Structure 1
């Protein structure tokens, strides 16, 4: 099995690499959400009106939701670089919240929402698939 990971050191290196990718993607999603939140708070005309949307909030409310999630995502993303367990757990939670918030705000700015959902999904995958301890 030449491609199989054989030693504990290799496993830890692989886990560290996957978590680093997840951290970068979470930071990217957080920064994109921060920009989006600022644009919403300042009533940027780039947002499409969605008058009959079931999950209607004011644009300012959506902006603050995205800013708060973004700040938390960036802080957790930075914690992931230290391979902190709390950051992995918090990363899973905040990434799921980012995906939900961006899904709910698709009518306001569809392309941006889909990009952030993609980045957050990659981060979520990375955080959920890494197992640093050997099984068994």
Structure 2
């Protein structure tokens, strides 16, 4: 899908990445699909239920980043695992979430290109690593 005119954009701020799933290009049931990186994030809610008392609910969203190649998926996978391990908040532009009838989660296609994300977050990780090295080298008085 190609956007021909952008009248609005939905901005997502992902505080905690959960499940990360890289996927290569291929074919399923005669339909081709592109390489992509998918990851999930969730919000947890607590609600009062008359019958059971306190009940937890989860709002689960799966973000899909379309990629040009399997190699690009591998590079993005490595980056996102690094971001997850370092607790970096990820800012993305995406479409409105949708849900298929048989899916347990909402799905969002990310509109940022893999190149944009890699450039932005590689630079950020370099800065954070430099700051961490300075903290380690600074003697405590």
Higher relative contact order (CA 8 A, sep 6+): 1
TM-score by length of 2: 0.30
Q: Greater strand share, 1 or 2?
A: 2
Q: Greater helix share, 1 or 2?
A: 1
**Structure ID, larger Rg:** 2
TM-score by length of 1: 0.31
